[in-house]
Structure formats: C-alpha cells, structure tokens
Amino acid sequence: MAYTKTVWVDDTNPELEADNLNNMENGLFNQDARITENEGDIETLDTGKLSLDQTTPQTIINGQPIQNTLTASEIVATDGDKKLQSLAVEIYPSLTELSYVKGVTSAIQTQITTEEANVDLLQTGWNSAGETWEYSSVDDPTGVITVATDLTTKYSAGMRIKFTNGGNVIYGIITVVAYSAPNTVITFLHQIDPTDSLALYLLANSAITANYYSNMKAPFGFPLNREKWSVIGYFAETLRTSPVVGTWYNIGTYKISVPIGNWDISYEGSFAEYVATTADHFLFATLSTTNNGESDTQMTAFVRANALQYFSAIVSKTKSITRTTKADYFLNEKTNTASVSAIEIAKNSQVLIKAVCGYL
C-alpha cells in the first residue's frame, strides 16, 4: 500500500511506503510519551524559573533566577537603559543602613528640622514664635503687639521676647497678656536706656520679624543688667521755706513715671528741716501717686529728733507694686513741727527714686 503526495516542494511525486509512515508514527508516539513522562519537570521549570512568556505573572521559587551581573546583598535599581544593576555601598546605603529607617512613620527631613529647632532651644533658650506679631501701640518704655489668635495659654507675664523691628533687635519682658477677639494683646516692657529711662529701641509701626520668646531667665543674649529694666530718677538738693504744719509738698517736682507691670519701687535720700530755735522735730517722707498727699502709708517714712535747731536723716522705703496703667510717683515731704523755717530734700547730696522690673 502506497501514499502518493499530490505536490512536493521540488514538484516531484515520490511515493511513501507504509513502513515509512509507520516509522514516523512510532517516532511521534515515543516523543509524546517522553513529554508526558517529563511533564512534572516541565511544570517545575515553568514555576521555578522565568519562562520566555513575559506577558503573564510568574512565581519565582528556590531563590531563582540568579543574576551573575549583580553583587550579593546590595540594593538593586535600574540603570539608564532599564537594566538591573547593584548600587555600590561606597555610594549608596547598604542593606543594614537601609534597615535603620524601618519603622519611620513620617518624613525624616521634617523630623530633623523639628529636632534642629529643639537643639537651638536647648543651646540658646529661644523658641521661634511661629506666628505673625503686629505693631499695635507704644507708651515709652511700654510696647503693645497683637497676634491674630488666642495665645493666652502660650504667653504669660514675665516671659522674655526678642524680635527685629525697624532695623533693630529689640528685647522685652512681657507684662500683660490678654485676649480680645480676634487678637491676643501682648504688652511688654522694652529694654531701657539707663541714660533717660526710656526704651533703648522703641517699637516702630513696621514689620516685626525673627520673633522669639523664652520662659528662661537668661536666654542667650538677653541683657540682665538691672538698670536696663529700671526707671530711675536722681534729684538734686531743694528746699521749701515756711511750710505749713501737716501739709505735703512735692519739693522740686521729684517724680518718676512707672509703666505697666510688676515693680519694686523705692526711694532713698537725705531729708532735713530748720527752726529758729531748738525744737523737737517730726519729719515725714512718702512716695505717692499724688503730688500733695500720701497714697500709700507703707511708703511713708517718719523721723524724729529732740531739742535741735537743725537736723537731717537718711530715709528710704521699698515696696513691690503692680501697675495696670502707667502712673507718676511723687516724692513728697511734710513736717509736724511748729514754726519750721524750711524743709529740705537731698541736703548736700542727691535723692534717688527707682522702679525695678519685678520679673527679673
């Protein structure tokens, strides 16, 4: 029995014998058997190694494939040609170094910036305010700034502040914090120029920048000299002739203006009186908010001398006060001695009136 193909490639018509067809059939059968026999190995090949089919997901097991062009235990990335490459630990992080960021829950740079601010606080004592301060008013040496939110739980009296304004770095001590919707109103004492008891640099109606605050006594750069936080008046010798018994006199207009805040006020000086003949002397001095009276008995001093024509004494008083408004304090004197020729303050010396900020 023979098979004759109609057309062959070379246009010949050879005959195929039955034996040849049987041999071909047997060959195909045996190949199919071998494929069936090795089907498990083929499955392993498909699942254990990358197949040529890259269009469907594939699972890699047993640590395959191995790329001999890569370096063990280094981070892998693609190069400019999208080929895999190892990132050398001389330049890039090692796996150990990369593991250090495990557990990070927020941006590392943000955390670093926050810690830098904390380090700056520890080193200098100054906190960045973190909000805009605006000029409100001045009553030298007091200044007032506002912040457009309620910060009464952030700032309090006695805190130190520092900011740049009008080209000057201004230091201050907060004296009052109050909220008046929508603003927090911060009243502060400027650093004082001891030569005139006014602000060294007065707050100007212009931008406030580089603003900081501190609850420490001495943050870096903050001036602690008491005279830089004091209102001081020195007054020369003055007398009053023929004083009326029991009448208070402000001889020579001795006074200082005490700003808002807590203050230690005091006075010290020589007080004297004269009579035509010897007498018992009763002389009083006081620091008062009026120029012809006694506003606070705790600031009144009394001296006495017997059987003298002239006598003088060094008198002083000190008290802590809190001012909610600015006020003048007058140094007054009176006598309860009859027929006094004159009363006098600062005989051959100067008298001192002083108010020192109580938050130092």
Q: Is the pLDDT higher at 59 or at 328? A: 328
Tokens 């601010």 correspond to what residue? 117
pTM (two decimals)? 0.69
What is the per-residue pLDDT for 5? 47
* C-alpha pair distances (Å), 119 with each of 113, 115, 138, 209: 10, 6, 34, 21
Angle at 293 between CA 236 and CA 336, to 5 degrees: 80
Q: Is the pLDDT higher at 80 or at 50? A: 80
Confidence of residue 95 (pLDDT cuts 50, 70, 90): confident
Distance CA 199, CA 258 (A): 13
Structure tokens at 345: 């303050």
Domains located in the chain, CATH noted: 127-224 (2.40.30), 230-357 (2.60.120.40)
Distance CA 38, CA 289 (A): 113
Identify the helix (H) or strand (E) that includes residue 247. Answer: none
Distance CA 236, CA 352 (A): 9
What is the per-residue pLDDT for 332? 96
Distance CA 92, CA 109 (A): 18
Decide if pLDDT at 250 tops 80.
Answer: yes
The per-residue pLDDT for range 168-222, each reduced to its tens digit, is 999 999 999 999 999 999 999 999 999 999 999 999 999 999 999 999 999 999 9
Among residues 127, 222, 131, 203, the alpha carbon closest in space to that of 165 is found at: 203
Structure tokens at 172: 């201050």
